[in-house]
Amino acid sequence: MKLLRIGAKGAEKPAILAEDGSIRDLSGIVDDIGGATLGADGLAKIAAADISSLPQLDAGDRIGPCVANVGKFICIGLNYADHAAETGAPIPAEPILFMKATSAIIGPNDDVIIPKNSIKPDWEVELGVVIGKEARYVDEADALDYVAGYCVVNDLSERHFQTERGGQWVKGKSADTFGPIGPWMVTRDEVADPQQLGMWLEVDGKRFQDGSTKTMIFGVAHVVAYVSQFMSLQPGDIITTGTPPGVGMGVKPEPVWLKPGNVMRLGIEGLGEQQQSVKAWSA
């Protein structure tokens, strides 16, 4: 199933992408696409519905973040061998964890705002993993049982804030609008192997990232199991799992940074596409 949320910010309706391409309103089935819905019971309730009989929503309406009320937005750093190489960083011995503020989350096609005092804004297409049931100290062999589904994430970064302002990476990752997610969450049963997904990102029509989840250092199952050793994972939490090469900071001979007027397009095989216009910050 491809689950999404349609409508103005703060007034999104839960929805499903039907097989005929129409968008159907799930408001009569579930309250929202969030933690309470993403467990086995909630997804089974949606799966049992007669989708063709549900009200049709306007496909031209705004698509909101595909998951509502995300509790934790957890990120894995330098998780692609080829991306680590382009940044000059060593291959991590264990997954690098950091957090991204949930206030960064926006819809997949909403505008991205360059924050005040930004110098080096950058892009990162990533596979997002949406948790479906509470996970504590899970084994890697069982880890995917705790996954509700997957989505596209643009893990936008301000590299100056991230690496040159001291402290942890979170300050370079958490600006408002720096977390587009969606267009939909694809349930786990529709993704045969999360380690075999092509992914790409373009800026103004030029392709910068063209990779695959197969080059992850630590795969999805390992990451879910690993994170659960340090904190419980709750339904609706999102883990974004790292980016392949081609980020702006890695461009040679000179890095390329986002600027107002740019348009980013990005996608992951089977998980849909995003498009964001880049705007300047204003008071």
How far apart are the C-alpha atoms of 212 and 126, rounded to whole Å? Answer: 10
How far apart are the C-alpha atoms of 147 and 31, rounded to whole Å?
20
Sheet with 198-203, strands from edge to edge, namely 112-114, 272-280, 263-268, 198-203, 206-212
8 Å CB contact between 113 and 177: yes
Q: How far apart are CA 102 and CA 74, in angstroms?
A: 9
| pLDDT for the residue numbered 164 | 80
Neighbours of 259 (CB within 10 A): 13
Nearest of 107, 160, 131 to residue 43 by alpha carbon? 131
Phi, psi of 73 (to 5 degrees): -115, 95
Superfamily of domain covering 73-280? Fumarylacetoacetase-like, C-terminal domain (3.90.850.10)
One DSSP character per residue, 219-257 reads -HHHHHHHHTTTS-B-TT-EEE----S--GGG-SSS---
Sign of CA dihedral 103, 104, 106, 111: positive
- The pTM for the full model equals 0.96
- Longest Cα–Cα distance of the chain, Å, equals 56
CA distances for 91 relative to 88, 96, 105, 133, 195, angstroms: 9, 10, 29, 31, 18
Element (H, E) at 157: strand 157-158
Look at residue 38 in the predicted model and tell me its pLDDT: 97
Question: What ranges do the domains of the chain cover?
Answer: 2-57, 73-280
Separation CA 20–CA 14 (nearest Å): 18
Q: Residue 114: enclosing H or E segment and its boundaries?
A: strand 112-114
Q: How do the pLDDT tens digits run along the chain, 283 residues long?
A: 999 999 999 999 999 999 999 999 999 999 999 999 999 999 999 999 999 999 999 989 999 999 999 999 999 998 998 777 777 778 889 999 999 999 999 999 999 999 999 999 999 999 999 999 999 999 999 999 999 999 999 999 999 999 888 878 899 999 999 999 999 999 999 999 999 999 999 999 999 999 999 999 999 999 999 999 999 999 999 999 999 999 999 999 999 999 999 999 999 999 999 999 999 999 7
> 273 exposed, middle or buried (CB, 10 Å; 0-12, 13-18, 19+)?
middle
Q: How many CA atoms lie within 13 A of 56 on its CB side?
A: 9
